[in-house]
Amino acid sequence: MNGALVNLEGNAACALGAIAAGCRFYAGYPITPSSEIAEWMAAELPRVDGIFIQMEDEIASLAAVIGASFGGMKAMTATSGPGFSLMQEHLGYAVMAEVPCVVVDVMRGGPSTGMPTRPSQGDIMQARWGTHGDHPIVVLAPHSVAEIHREIVRAFNLSEALRMPVVLLYEETLGHLVESVALEPPRPEDLVERRWADLPRERYRPFACDEDLVPAMAWPGDGYRAHVTGLVHDERGFPTQNPEQVRALLRRLHGKLERHRGLIERFEMLQCADAELLIVAIGIAARAARAAVRALRRAGIRAGLFRPVTLWPFPEEAFRRAARSARAILVPELNLGQLVREVERLAPAGVPVRHLGRVDGEPLMPEEIICALEELAA
């Protein structure tokens, strides 16, 4: 597409961005409202010598993606809330075994099968804490069709650079939204490839690393010995319960994120420098919040928007900067209270935080946000 203006659906932008990022393997199971991603991948992957497989369920889908990644391919799957729940065990395995892969969750109303064709932001905490244990995770939350395309490319880059799964999280409305966008394919030099082992074979340890805390992977067939397990393991990959080795591994897995926050974090601040009323929102709620901020500014009210594009790890220091002048904070989201919990944890002392939730399958409107802010400021 090379910068040409096109009308594109969000799910289509996700698939095309993934292929542009170098994805050559997709395994998935159809589920509303993400099925168009699979349809596009089924059509487009063969054109670039890629592989598409429809699996029997979401559990098998992520298992196949993990296997393909071990085989040296950039790999992904896509699903919605119920399928994302089924993937959690394998997501934890990918964290522990340090397997690069990308999972797209197009959120819909829940719990259970809920409302398959209606938007929700009910998976915010599942994306952070869905699998068990103290695990690190990177979650990206775009708010437009163009940003879906950019962030899926970045999801693959982060996954490859950090050797870990990355989740792309957006709502049904964005998945089915059609916008006019000028897509700029990433340049080859902008794409990240994982680091492959180049040590003498006798010196290679599959989970040993240098100061960047990211081990080099063994390319299949190169003759390196690599033992891989979901158990806590030593640098050779063999299970261990040695307290020092256990502590070192888990600290390193989390340390990867802290070491590379500058690479991971992305956020938007709109009119935050002097904002007395601060909105914190993601996805389609942030789109409504943007319109609300502009309307309030025209009325002489100093409102601002902080939008974390990197949802997890939450951009804490950037949020604290955005909230310096805030007298009150509003968190609009399509759930009964998830993102607001993180905002409450980080808000300046004495600054009230109010939640504005909606769970009826309808998106939040700018007028609702304006009314809530006016009540909060009164």
Which residues does the chain have with pLDDT short of 50? Answer: none
- What is the model's pLDDT at position 314? 98
Indicate the fold that domain 5-190 takes in CATH. Answer: Rossmann fold (3.40.50)
Strands of 328-333's sheet in order across: 267-270, 303-308, 277-280, 328-333, 353-357
Q: Do domains 5-190 and 268-377 have the same CATH topology?
A: yes
The ranges assigned to domains in the chain are 5-190, 201-262, 268-377
Name the residue among 50, 34, 313 with its Cα closest to residue 42. 50
Task: Determine phi and psi for 295, rounding to 5 degrees.
Answer: -65, -40
Measured CA to CA in angstroms, residue 359 lies from 144, 248, 336, 367 at distances of: 21, 42, 7, 17
Cβ atoms within 10 Å, residue 274: 9
Q: Considering the entire predicted model, what is its pTM?
A: 0.97
Contact 80, 34 (CB under 8 A): yes
Q: Which CATH number fits domain 268-377: 3.40.390.10, 3.40.50.920, 3.40.50.2000, 1.20.120.50?
A: 3.40.50.920
**Calpha distance 131→202 (Å, rounded):** 35
- What is the model's pLDDT at position 141? 98
Cβ atoms within 10 Å, residue 128: 19
- What is the model's pLDDT at position 378? 75
- What is the model's pLDDT at position 296? 96
Which residues have a Cβ under 8 Å from the Cβ of 358 and sit 6 or more positions away?
332, 334, 364, 368
- What is the model's pLDDT at position 89? 97
Contact 111, 103 (CB under 8 A): no
The alpha carbon of residue 31 and the mean position of all alpha carbons in its chain are separated, in whole angstroms, by: 19
Helix axes 10-20, 35-44, angle to 10 degrees: 40
Which residues have a Cβ under 8 Å from the Cβ of 263 and sit 6 or more positions away?
158, 161
- What is the model's pLDDT at position 184? 85
- Per DSSP, the three-state class of 273 is coil
- What is the model's pLDDT at position 4? 79
- What is the model's pLDDT at position 266? 98
**Calpha distance 78→91 (Å, rounded):** 13
- What is the model's pLDDT at position 217? 96
Element (H, E) at 85: helix 81-86
